[in-house]
Structure 1
């Protein structure tokens, strides 16, 4: 749909400010520690994909999520459980040990992809602890479609149908939560839903948006905080009992501000005082688990031990770049070549590899070999190791650093920046963005809801919304065609 993109580039100065304001007012924002908010930039230029491709990526995410769940459980049931448990904080470890064998359903997961220069979606990592942005993605798409449709004189009465055609991750999340609850409670549906997060959570505007949507869908939903919760045999806030809890709360935040009641609640899966279907599963998100998935493609014993089926192995093969735990000693390289020493091989070819701490948030310990000497690379090295490091020096430090379970090494996914228009209060500015694609999925449900995806953009190759960057509206080809036809009819 290059023709629509050209129209949008020409028209963006006329609707960009309104799009920026609308998205911000709806909740496309980061909340600071003092409670103030700053907008997350939105682009006037969307990502346009066939609905079939969106479904295909969701199916890939489903297979990868299921495989990750199996692999993590197999490791924790085996003799190498420290590979995963050793990466976790004390409370994360305690909860993982108590709950991992009881985790049968995950209402929502998120797999983050880069689309390579061959137009193939390559999975970089999986998010299961707080796989957020269902709300942000809907805000971006909804705001874009409404603002642009009105600018193009699209019939007002038909805009809702356009939004429905494009899909909704908030609706998919709602369906996943209800279906999971019904599976746990003999077909019953919850009367009340609590969205649990800390006060002034960085993404609390997204949670408020989700809460509003859940209410529109028919649920009695509220955003609640750990210091409000009590109850001897139920999840109660201000005298109100909640039957289903959606957790948006990092376990490490509970270590910073302890809440014994919530810690006890999260230690029982799928919950006795209330059902919660996104339990803490740090063991799945640890990047060593992802490395083991990559290894399983060429290690039949590892694949069999985890119980991976043929479809899961195929999803890994086609989408997961070569990834290994970063350790000294012989290994098999990305092309199947024998390496005398993995660390020496990685140190010798910086442009080929990325180093990632196995358990960390926000890209703070991610190093691209080809970015050595750049400001982001040096800032990360300074923060972690006290000063700038060459790639060889970084490899030496990383292989001996046990923090967060050590590092994994991944073959770099070749991608190129894209030209987009970022909306501002005064219009739209041309920006060169690296764009990723995240696909949602569920684990253990009888059926998958109609998950879509979310696209983020950043001027750097390490994409993170809270640390900077923006959201690109994701729309289907069919929706894009309708907008183009409306423009041509003016």
Structure 2
């Protein structure tokens, strides 16, 4: 596909600004606290993969998400439950203790990867694993814009969009499958997409809502302060049969909403089917560390009930990850270490520390980035001072906030040359690119999930905190676009 990418680099100045404008208009944006929006940049240079490889990564993610769910369930039923509960906020903990025994399905999860010689899973997202809409906006807007610029007939474009697939449709199918499992095979007539007012991803929720309506179900974006109902989930007298939760449970502590707290506390839901139910402990990174540890701990793997397919997925994709605490253990090379903290402190370029329960990359510390402004800013935010790597390791090993820390072996990534599109022009940048693949847990049929790619000048990739979305397109679609260019 190098030829196609070279054509895009030559032509991006012509289609790139319009690509940025169209993507922003469709909802590729961050909503700020005052309700204004800022565009999320999109690249003129996509990630191109065979459709079969995209499906393979989705299957890999399904195994990893299922394994993490099993580990979480087993730990919460054991005397070690504090490993996962200890970092949760009061309301997250209360909801977990009240509901998790009844949580059997997660309509959507997301596994984030860096790709070296193969995809290497960094963590599992299960609270509000977003970007289904963002990914479709980026890919579909790219395909449409490039196809038109390359002179492809308008009537041929819908087939390309269909061939490329879409995570919005997969999310819709997952929600309907989850609802059918809870309501004797029925289809919901109404769906509420529940999020905060001025949620950072509000435009994405509105995009999903519009697409769900096109698929045939009455859908609305609703906010916690609008909801009421004695027997049903209602907003201004309208009843909703299925609720898609895009709301962190802990937000209810910032803006108390007793009705909503009671609703979240009933799984799978009495007033409406709740998808996804609160699932904070699945995303606690300690659970992922125990998934990694299961490869060298057959007793843990057996107790959890990991399948051969799940164990193989862990083996081929999960880097060495462990709870970060002082004491003996096996290091990433399999050798017995007298003290894991000392081992990690001695080789900063090899490890990354992550707070077990946090999000947005705010408490992620790359050992090799010690002394950089980003590292020092994070250290000061957490501990009030700049720290050496050794000092940070010592502090993190005894820090219980957010459930403490996990340590993970660094996955090497090489920055890639990309063209960032903004309304005023094109900017060449070297970006660290990740790959996230969606999956469902506990559904009778597997939706046709795809992935999403983010790029950032930082090795800690996060959309809300900066960076852009790279269109993910299949090799087959790229070949069709290249043929259109050659036929001009």
**TM-score normalised per structure 1:** 0.99
Match of 1:445 in 2: 443
Q: Residue in 1 aligned with 2:300?
A: 302
Matching residue within 108, 119, 122 for 1:121: 119
Paired with 1:424 and 1:404, the residues of 2 have a C-alpha distance of: 37
Q: Is 1:346 equivalent to 2:344 in the alignment?
A: yes
Distance 2:120 2:398 in 1: 29
Distance 2:430 2:95 in 1: 42
Equivalence map 1:28-427=2 (5 Å):
28-116=28-116, 118=117, 120-427=118-425
**In structure 1, C-alpha distance between the alignment counterparts of 2:239 and 2:372, rounded to whole Å:** 52
Q: Distance in 2 between matches of 1:472 and 1:374?
A: 26
- What whole-Å deviation, never above 9, does each CA across 1:373-396 have from its counterpart, x for those lacking one? 011101100111111110001001
The answer to whether the Cα contact below 8 Å between 1:12 and 1:427 also exists between their aligned partners in 2 is: no
State the alpha-carbon separation in 1 of the partners of residues 357 and 385 from structure 2.
Answer: 22
Contact kept in structure 2, 1:98 and 1:267, CA below 8 Å: yes
1:130-155: CA deviation from partner (whole Å, max 9, x where unpaired): 00000000000011011110000011
Once residues 238 and 272 of structure 1 are traced to their aligned partners in structure 2, the CA distance between those partners, rounded to angstroms, is 19
Q: 1:277 Cα deviation (Å)?
A: 2.1
TM-score, length-normalised on structure 2? 1.00
Deviation at 1:254, TM superposition (A): 1.1
> How far is 1:447 from its partner?
1.1
> Structure 1 residue 25 and structure 2 residue 19: aligned?
no
Deviation at 1:335, TM superposition (A): 1.1
Unmatched segments (≥5 aa) in structure 2: none
2:296 alignment partner, SS class: coil
- Deviation, 1:307, is 1.0
State the secondary structure of the residue aligned to 2:34.
coil
Runs of 4+ in 1 over 2 A off after TM superposition: none
Secondary structure class of the residue paired with 2:394: helix
**Equivalent-residue separation in structure 1 for 2:151 and 2:425 (angstroms):** 19
* Cα distance in structure 2, aligned partners of 1:169 and 1:266: 25
Gaps of 5+ in 1: none
**Secondary structure in structure 2 of the residue aligned to 1:20:** helix
Q: Over residues 31-72 of structure 1, what are the superposed CA-to-partner deviations in whole Å (9 max), with x where a residue is unaligned?
A: 000000000000000000000110010001000011111100
Matched residue SS, 2:42? coil
Who is 1:5 aligned against?
A: 5
Q: Distance between the aligned counterparts of 2:75 and 2:424, measured in 1?
A: 53
Contact 1:44 1:144 in 2 (8 A): yes
Aligned counterparts of 1:424 and 1:34: Cα–Cα separation in 2? 22
Between the aligned partners of 1:443 and 1:324, the Cα distance in structure 2 is 24
> How far is 1:105 from its partner?
0.8
Q: What is the SS of the residue equivalent to 2:43?
A: coil
Conserved? CA contact 1:109–1:441, under 8 Å: yes
Deviations 1:310-358 (A, max 9, x none): 1111101110000000010111011101111000000000000000000
Query: 8 Å contact 1:14–1:427 — kept in the other structure?
Result: no
**Which whole-Å CA distance do the structure 1 matches of 2:123 and 2:74 have between them?**
19
Aligned residues: CA RMSD: 0.5
Deviation at 1:428, TM superposition (A): 1.1
* Displacement of 1:422: 0.2
Q: Distance in 2 between matches of 1:384 and 1:16?
A: 39
